[in-house]
Structure 1
Amino acid sequence: MQTPTATPVRSVPPAIHGEGPTWDAARQELLWVDIDAGQVRRATVSAGGEVAEVAVHTGGETVGFVVPASDGGWLLGADGGFTHLDPTGRATVLVALDGEGPAAGTRMNDGAVDPAGRLFGGTMAFDGSPGAGSLYRVDLDGSVHTVLTGLTISNGIEWTADGRTVYLADSGTSTVRAYDYDVATGAFGADRVFLDLSSDAGPADGLTMDDEDHVWVALWGAGRVRRYSPAGELVAEVRVPARNTSSCAFTGPGRDLLVISTSTQDLDDAARAAEPDAGRLFAVRPGVTGRPAGTYRGPVDALRQP
């Protein structure tokens, strides 16, 4: 089993709570967020792996994820709903989800776009209360629907190449579940436990998939990103010298550079001294390529709840 070690990207400043790296293929940019700072961050990645930050935008009090939109801007899971960020950096709240947001003790967490261009975004309670999280879908007509309830920390989500299976991590239960998926309707079907990490080094956090339909999962608190086969077999592990590994994505012109986000959350002074690169991005070339972010293809000015 391969066990490479990722190196810190010191060319860009660290985040407080770095999350959700993804590759915007249209702009050829790396996107990621600093949840606690409410920031969307953008950088270029050269063929040689050099990362250069080009912009930092404020998207809300908290920002859980960012994905490209077809108008050249981005959609965010921010605070308790969905926000549009235009290319100039102006953020516009599109919809505040009923029963979500700071007043309800929850916030948006991870999200992604399905093969048809629909947006999915999940929530969690600030205190991680069991069952307080949900998963929402934004359809191509701008309507917003509840897909799942009773989650704890709705986290990484991604689809197989054929679109027939969607993986969803719930950090609160330390599982990644595989759901049957209908690309025509965006409906979730029968599900099974793909990974149970409850007795492992850390719960599943963000995830991505490579071009061989293997799943890469960041293990929060473990300083690890693991690669699993479609059958759930552990086949590779990237070690990260920062315990709070939060997510990962394949980036760069060849999409062969795995970029890993990390966080300083819950680290005391002693831990921060022992992990001086906590909050930074880390990078490694694992020998495989991965997919760019999906692009949201619905309206950016008319989201609505039924």
Structure 2
Amino acid sequence: MELTEPTVWSTDRLELGEGLRWVDDRLVLVDLLAGRLLEANGAGPAPLRELRRLDVPLGAVAPVADRPGDLLAAAGTGVSLLPVTGDPRPVVDLVGDAPEPTRMNDAVADPHGRFWAGSMTYAGIPGGGTLYRLNPGAVPVPAVTGLTIPNGPAFDATGTTMYLADSPPGEVDRFTVDPGTGDLHGREPFLRLAPADGSPDGMAVDAAGHLWVALWGGSAVRRYRPDGSLDREIRLPAAQPAGICLGGPGLRRLFIGTARLGLTSPGPTDGAVLAVDVPVPGLPTAHATAPGAD
């Protein structure tokens, strides 16, 4: 089945469909504020299956290396391990003592096994967000501070280039990553979007090193070349695309999570998972090193 146009992939309509990851030949995603971990059929449109429901917001997950089925999650005010069976196990609290009510947002593993997780205030206070880096066996590091609503990050195949969005100001920056330590260097502006374009939200790098960006409020996803120029735009039948990933057959299916959150009159496909096939495949999903491992 070739999807030449964006296709509704779920009968469900989510409040905030985020954190899409292609894990073990299946699509995993979250309904963020509802704390729901969901699974979608990669072969064809079908209802979503609920894998877990937490009592805190669930931002995103990453598979854990050498522990099939286990997931590392940005959840509540920190990071937790979601074992394939049994209750969630807290790993670290990151923002529980923040001066303003704060929660975790997007998160991802890089190709070297580090876990990166962003935080934001519930009120979206400028400067109240931070991107944290969790190196295996080390104390978490606030890697980028002074953000508002961090989304991503997204890494290239080598893990030496990182893209990070700050959604409200419409900014995506690019960093050089030290492969041994995860230290960030050479921060530079990559995208500066006008409000009419929408806000950069979920992102993914493909096998050619181009960056896909979901445009919250822009009803579109865009693919940008490494020099920051626009390669293509795909218009969507949903106003608020939030999370994206490349998976499916040959990793050439672009899955898009959307949201109904904040819409006074949601359309029939707002909150749906969408899918469309693209010419260039994505990268395999990176696995996080198990907590406590070196």
TM-score normalised per structure 1: 0.89
**CA root-mean-square deviation:** 1.9
Map 1:163-174 → 2, pairs under 5 A:
163-174=159-170
Deviation, structure 1 residue 54: 4.3
Deviation, structure 1 residue 122: 0.3
Aligned pair partner of 2:284 in 255, 269, 292: 292
Instruction: Tell me: CA distance 1:204–1:92, structure 2 relative to 1, closer, same or farther (3 Å).
Output: same
For the residues of structure 2 that align with 1:95 and 1:59, how far apart are their CA atoms? 16
Instruction: Tell me: CA distance 1:89–1:222, structure 2 relative to 1, closer, same or farther (3 Å).
Output: farther
Aligned pair partner of 2:188 in 175, 185, 192: 192
The one-letter code matched in structure 2 to 1:243 is A
For the residues of structure 2 that align with 1:281 and 1:96, how far apart are their CA atoms? 31
For the residues of structure 1 that align with 2:194 and 2:208, how far apart are their CA atoms? 26
The reply to whether residue 114 of structure 1 matches residue 110 of structure 2 is: yes
Instruction: Tell me: CA distance 1:82–1:237, structure 2 relative to 1, closer, same or farther (3 Å).
Output: same
Structure 2 unaligned residues grouped into runs of 5+: none
How many positions carry a matched residue from both structures? 288
The reply to whether residue 37 of structure 1 matches residue 34 of structure 2 is: yes
The reply to whether residue 181 of structure 1 matches residue 180 of structure 2 is: no
Structure 2 residue aligned with 1:220:
216
For the residues of structure 1 that align with 2:86 and 2:12, how far apart are their CA atoms? 19
Map 1:153-302 → 2, pairs under 5 A:
153-268=149-264, 271-272=265-266, 275-299=267-291, 302=292
2:36–2:50 Cα contact (<8 Å) kept: no
For the residues of structure 2 that align with 1:285 and 1:253, how far apart are their CA atoms? 9
Deviation, structure 1 residue 129: 0.7
Deviation, structure 1 residue 99: 4.8
Percent identity (aligned): 35
1:63–1:78 Cα contact (<8 Å) kept: yes
Indicate the SS of the match to 1:283: strand
Instruction: Tell me: CA distance 1:100–1:148, structure 2 relative to 1, closer, same or farther (3 Å).
Output: farther
Range with bigger deviation, 74-83 or 163-172: 163-172
Deviation, structure 1 residue 217: 0.2
Aligned pair partner of 1:94 in 71, 74, 91: 91
Structure 1 unaligned residues grouped into runs of 5+: none
Deviation, structure 1 residue 6: 1.1
2:8–2:45 Cα contact (<8 Å) kept: no
Map 1:37-56 → 2, pairs under 5 A:
37-46=34-43, 49-50=44-45, 53-56=48-51
Range with bigger deviation, 140-149 or 70-79: 140-149
For the residues of structure 2 that align with 1:93 and 1:6, how far apart are their CA atoms? 38
Aligned pair partner of 1:131 in 127, 134, 144: 127
Deviation, structure 1 residue 89: 5.9
TM-score normalised per structure 2: 0.92
